[in-house]
């Protein structure tokens, strides 16, 4: 047994002992018995602990460790035997230092002998078995990774981007590991392949991913309580139906967007965790959109409307490369979705709707930010694949237009909302305003493409988009 007088007592434990007026020698003897300081502190802090009780307990433990006979106190024996606990199990618990009162309480609480056996065996293993001396390996402490890193928080706290320091800031162009090992960790042999398929930085990276993740977490909102639901009042039936149709459409495409990103996340290797983190938060965004628009549809006397045709969304699900899918989802589809959010905001009938659409506008802009900056990074690294991206966008722009033409319920709902009703005059007004929003969207989409490094696509976009773009002065003059 170790020399108790040579044991240092942690300062917080000294404080507890002094508060309870317990001799420090008792504490040293408890530590010498091998009880962890936290356990000693916890036991001393319990109400009713006196120097006499502690002395009796520690003396008993010292006697046990010295090879003395362990006796089960009669009050404990009565209860444990009634509960069909073997005496041997109770003796093992006492040997571990379990107080009699605690054992009585645990048995009365219904802990079975089998459950107790598992816990006791675990504690014995932690204490190093019968001999009491734990055999530790500790070779893992010599791992050859960078050590001594001490990043300090900044004005925004401790962000994911800030901890990319030293070797941990090395984000390689190719990630060579096929397992779930985090970047910066030391690999061990023999771990099976996780089945990822994206190992090249160019195929998923965006320089803003870490910041977008933090932004997404910071700017999260709760549909249940951040929306002033009580501000909603009954709307004319035709208006409520139009609102609900818009809600149905957005709910549906939110679920699809979740499926699309969810299908690609397991393909992305662990070397680029910033992207995986951000896309995980984007998954949460779309789940929240589904939630909030379903709640809006079902909270003001309306209901769920008609399903969308789904041509465009199904094509995205079938996309064979992440960059292709991201360009379609995060640039093309998200830009159009922004237009829908703007229409919803512009025509909102109460503070609840205004708040919903205002938050959604923030969310979708983050998704565009990932999309445009990923595509820019990809095009910078893959000069030979520029034509491929143009081809992909050609395909998706056609599909999006086809979807728009086929989705009569959505277009009519938008016209009703913008026109304020379903009369002929109102629908004409709604059509005119919808064209205005379409023009805003087309011009905005072109700016997003330019930000992604595809400024030249202005002349290549589908004619249904191009018709909304301002013509160069020379072309206008020639036409005149």
CA within 13 Å, CB half, 472: 5
Beta partners for 157? Answer: 154
**Residue placing its CB nearer to another protein in the complex, 248 or 448:** 448
Q: Residue 198 pairs with which residues in a beta bridge?
A: 268
The nearer residue to another protein, 269 or 342, going by C-beta atoms, is 342
Least separation in angstroms between residue 365's CB and another protein is 4
- Judged by beta carbon, residue 451 or residue 469, the one nearer another protein is 451
**Least distance to another protein from the beta carbon of 426, Å?**
19
Counting other chains too, the contacts that 465-468 makes at CB distance below 8 Å and 24 or more residues apart are 465/397, 465/401, 466/442, 467/442, 468/438, 468/439, 468/441, 468/442, 468/443
- Yes or no: say if 179 and 191 are a contact pair by the CB < 8 Å rule: yes
What residues contact 63, with CB distance under 8 A and at least 6 apart? none
d(CA 236, CA 221): 29
* Shortest CB 368 distance to another protein, Å: 6
**Cβ distance to another protein smaller for residue 61 or 334:** 334
Rg of the chain taking only CA atoms, in angstroms: 33
How far apart are alpha carbons 260 and 325 in whole angstroms?
A: 8
| Min CB(468)–another protein separation in Å | 11
In the bound complex, what is the minimum distance in angstroms from residue 234's beta carbon to another protein? 19
| Token duo for residue 342 | 């703007």
Q: Which of 199, 195, 207, 193 shows the shortest CA–CA distance to 173?
A: 199
* Least separation in angstroms between CB 211 and another protein: 8
Give the nearest distance from C-beta 227 to another protein in angstroms.
13
CA distance 180 to 476: 57
In the complex, least distance from residue 345 CB atom to another protein, rounded to whole angstroms: 6
3-state secondary structure (DSSP) of residue 207: coil
C-beta of 105 vs 218, nearer to another protein: 218
| Tokens representing residue 223 in the block | 């549909």
66 CB-contact burial (10 Å; exposed 0-12 / middle 13-18 / buried 19+)? exposed
Question: In this structure, are residues 259 and 319 in contact, taking their beta carbons and an 8 Å threshold?
Answer: no
CB of 262 to another protein, least distance (A): 23
Q: Where are the alpha helices (DSSP H) in 147-236?
A: 209-218, 223-226
Toward another protein, which CB reaches closer, 120 or 212?
A: 212
How far is 443 from 273, CA to CA, in rounded Å? 33
DSSP helix/strand/coil, 307? coil
CB of 357 vs another protein, minimal distance in Å: 8
CA dihedral sign, ordered 252, 256, 257, 262: positive
Residues near another protein (CB under 8 A) are: 154-156, 214-215, 218-220, 338, 342, 345-346, 348, 354, 358-359, 361-362, 364-366, 368-369, 372-373, 436-437, 440, 444, 447-451
Give the span between the Cα atoms of 421 and 238, in whole angstroms.
7
Nearer to another protein, 261 or 454 (CB): 454
Residue 27 or 442: the one with the smaller Cβ distance to another protein is: 442
Phi, psi of 191 (to 5 degrees): -80, 130
CB of 375 to another protein, least distance (A): 11
Q: Smaller CB distance to another protein: residue 336 or 342?
A: 342
Residue whose CB is less far from another protein, 215 or 397: 215
Q: Which is nearer to another protein, 161 or 305 (CB)?
A: 161
CA atoms within 13 Å, Cβ hemisphere of 344? 29
Residue 68 is classified by DSSP as P
Q: Which is nearer to another protein, 199 or 359 (CB)?
A: 359
Minimum distance, C-beta of residue 376 to another protein, in the bound complex (Å):
8
What is the chain's length?
480
What are residue 471's phi and psi, to 5 degrees?
-85, 145
């Amino acid at each position: 047994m170790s020399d108790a007088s040579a044991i240092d007592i942690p300062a917080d434990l000294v404080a507890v002992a002094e508060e309870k007026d317990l001799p420090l020698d008792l504490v040293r003897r408890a530590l010498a018995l091998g009880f962890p300081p936290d356990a000693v502190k916890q036991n001393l802090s319990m109400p009713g602990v006196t120097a006499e009780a502690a002395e009796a307990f520690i003396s008993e433990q010292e006697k046990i460790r010295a090879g003395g006979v362990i006796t089960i106190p009669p009050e404990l024996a009565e209860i444990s035997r009634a509960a069909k606990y073997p005496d041997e199990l109770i003796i093992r618990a006492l040997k571990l230092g379990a107080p009699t009162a605690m054992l009585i309480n645990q048995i009365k609480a219904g802990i079975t002998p089998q459950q107790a056996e598992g816990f006791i065996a675990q504690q014995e293993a932690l204490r190093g078995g019968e001999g009491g001396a734990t055999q530790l390996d500790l070779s893992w402490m010599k791992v050859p990774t960078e050590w001594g890193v001490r990043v300090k928080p900044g004005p925004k706290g401790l962000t994911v981007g800030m901890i990319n320091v030293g070797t941990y800031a090395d984000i390689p162009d190719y990630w060579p590991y096929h397992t779930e090992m985090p970047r910066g960790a030391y690999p061990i042999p023999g771990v099976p392949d996780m089945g990822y398929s994206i190992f090249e930085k160019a195929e998923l990276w965006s320089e803003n991913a870490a910041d977008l993740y933090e932004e997404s977490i910071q700017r999260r909102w709760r549909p249940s309580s951040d929306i002033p639901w009580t501000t909603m009042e009954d709307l004319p039936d035709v208006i409520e139906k139009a609102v609900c149709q818009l809600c149905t459409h957005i709910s549906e495409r939110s679920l699809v967007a979740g499926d699309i990103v969810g299908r690609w996340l397991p393909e992305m290797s662990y070397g680029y965790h910033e992207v995986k983190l951000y896309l995980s938060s984007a998954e949460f965004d779309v789940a929240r959109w589904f939630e909030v628009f379903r709640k809006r549809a079902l909270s003001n006397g309306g209901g769920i409307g008609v399903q969308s045709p789904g041509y465009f969304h199904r094509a995205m699900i079938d996309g064979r490369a992440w960059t292709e899918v991201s360009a379609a989802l995060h640039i093309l589809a998200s830009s159009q979705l922004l237009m829908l959010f703007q229409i919803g905001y512009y025509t909102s009938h109460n503070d609840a709707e205004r708040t919903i659409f205002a938050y959604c506008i923030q969310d979708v802009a983050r998704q565009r930010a990932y999309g445009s900056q990923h595509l820019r990074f990809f095009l910078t690294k893959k000069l030979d694949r520029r034509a491929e991206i143009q081809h992909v966008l050609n395909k998706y722009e056609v599909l999006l237009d086809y979807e728009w033409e086929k989705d009569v319920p959505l277009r009519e709902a938008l016209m009703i909302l913008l026109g304020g009703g379903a009369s002929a005059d109102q629908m004409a007004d709604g059509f005119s305003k919808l064209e205005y929003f379409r023009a805003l969207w087309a011009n905005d989409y072109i700016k997003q493409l330019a930000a992604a490094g595809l400024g030249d696509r202005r002349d290549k976009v589908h004619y249904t988009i191009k018709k909304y773009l301002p013509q160069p002065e020379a072309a206008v003059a020639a036409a005149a």
